[in-house]
Amino acid sequence: MSNKNSLIEIDHLKKYYSVSNGFFTSKGRALKAVDDVSLAVERKHSLGIVGESGCGKSTMGKTILRLIEPSGGRVVFDGEELFNVEENHFMDQKKLQALRKRMAMVFQDPYSSLNPHMTIGDAVKAGVLRHKIVPKEEAPDYCIEMLCACGLEKEAYASYPNEFSGGQRQRAVIARALALKPEFVVCDEPTAALDVSIQSQVLNMMLDMQEQMNLTYLFISHNLQVTRAFCDEIAVMYLGKIVEKGKADEIYYHSVHPYTKALLASLPISEPGQKKQERKIINSIPSMMDVPKGCRFHTRCPYATQKCRTEEPKLKEASPGHLAACHQI
């Protein structure tokens, strides 16, 4: 799946957790949080990962950056292999640490992302000094510049997190990530904890910074509407697997997988007089410990056939560049 235009390539990525069946037994089952995912993100583009809570989105983002160790698969960043589990190759920790300034992550909760005992300036400056982004004597001015670029006042440098609103904290968290001058940023629900009006401001700021700094984003969200507005491409995830992917507008306006259609139908009506789509979905989401055989969505899909219950569908083209894992296509 190598592509010279891709900054990061994810090949058959897996993350399994062993879970004990009970107090008196050591034999456990595998919780397949990420199960055989392959994706590529083009340079200076944004790929959105969408799905319900618990589908494995955040685990995938952390595993790509090796904040969580993988169970299988391979990830290549700008031509350098971060890991290849099958060949037992893991990038040396010293080399990985040197590479980390080129990869960053913005976490979901701005309240827990910042140390309450550190000023915002110290929080941003810590990474800048560690990775020697600028000389030590220039670090304060550089950090103030980054905070201002992310929509904060220069006084934020000497302030503590409890003096900020949620939106301001998230701007500080983004400034801390971007201060390392990364090329690739994993954004894990970066606006989920914010008011709707603040969400748009933060997202617009992130788009501006993408253009200024030539950033590549992996944008994790449960909201298809927000993801479509922010991203170039979208991959829809269900119970650890990608079930549909393609250009953002293609997924939003011409989705083919029943799960994607259900996500879209659950969105609120945005225009007066617009007819609400019927939410064609049944039952509740299965446990990750008891993933259905065949198509993982068949227990909730009103169109499921016997083939869906016994045979797992593979991703195939519904139209050029638009893939979906569904037997009905």
Phi and psi of 214, rounded to 5°? 55, 50
- State which amino acid sits at residue 57: K
Phi and psi of 304, rounded to 5°? -65, 140
What pLDDT does residue 22 have?
62
Burial 142-154 (b: 16+ CB within 10 A, else e): bbbbbbebbbbee
Q: Is residue 317 part of a domain?
A: no
What pLDDT does residue 61 have?
96
Q: Report how far residue 21's alpha carbon sits from residue 62's, in angstroms, rounded to the nearest whole number.
A: 26
* Res 21 pLDDT > 90: no
Phi and psi of 9, rounded to 5°? -125, 130
Q: Is residue 197 part of a domain?
A: yes
Please state which of the ranges 28-37, 148-157, 178-187 shows the lowest mean pLDDT: 28-37
Q: Report how far residue 328's alpha carbon sits from residue 248's, in angstroms, rounded to the nearest whole number.
A: 22
Retrieve residue 188's tokens. 């894990």
Q: How confident is the model over 86-113, as pLDDT tens digits?
A: 999 999 988 998 888 999 999 888 888 8
Please state which of the ranges 75-89, 156-170, 267-281 shows the lowest mean pLDDT: 267-281
65 contacts: CB under 8 Å, gap ≥ 6: 100, 103, 105, 186
Q: How confident is the model over 113-144, as pLDDT tens digits?
A: 899 999 999 999 999 999 999 999 999 999 99
Confidence band, pLDDT 50/70/90 cuts, at residue 43: very high
52 contacts: CB under 8 Å, gap ≥ 6: 222, 238, 263, 285
What pLDDT does residue 237 have?
97
- Comparing 12 with 26, which gets the higher pLDDT? 12
Mind spelling out the 3-state secondary structure of 53-98?
CCCCHHHHHHHHCCCCCCCEEEEEECCEEEEECCCCEECCHHHHHH
- State which amino acid sits at residue 31: L
Q: Is residue 292 part of a domain?
A: no
Q: Is residue 284 part of a domain?
A: no
Q: Report how far residue 203's alpha carbon sits from residue 163's, in angstroms, rounded to the nearest whole number.
A: 22
Q: How confident is the model over 170-228, as pLDDT tens digits?
A: 999 999 999 999 999 999 998 887 888 888 898 999 999 999 999 999 999 999 999 99
- pLDDT, average across residues 66-70: 95
Tell me the DSSP string of 2-70. Answer: --TTEEEEEEEEEEEEEEEEETTEEEEEEEEEEEEEEEEEETT-EEEEE--TTSSHHHHHHHHTTSS--
130 contacts: CB under 8 Å, gap ≥ 6: none
Half-sphere exposure of 42 (CA within 13 A, CB side): 9
Q: Is residue 250 part of a domain?
A: no
What pLDDT does residue 192 have?
82
* Res 238 pLDDT > 70: yes
Structural domain tally of the chain? 1
Tell me which H or E stretch contains 121.
helix 120-130
Place of tokens 């008011």: 195
Query: What is the side-by-side order of every strand in the sheet holding 72-77?
Result: 25-42, 6-22, 72-77, 80-84, 89-90
236 is in which domain, residue-wise?
Answer: 6-20+28-245
Q: Report how far residue 91's alpha carbon sits from residue 96's, in angstroms, rounded to the nearest whole number.
A: 6
Q: Is residue 238 part of a domain?
A: yes
Domain at 70, CATH number: 3.40.50.300
Confidence band, pLDDT 50/70/90 cuts, at residue 160: very high
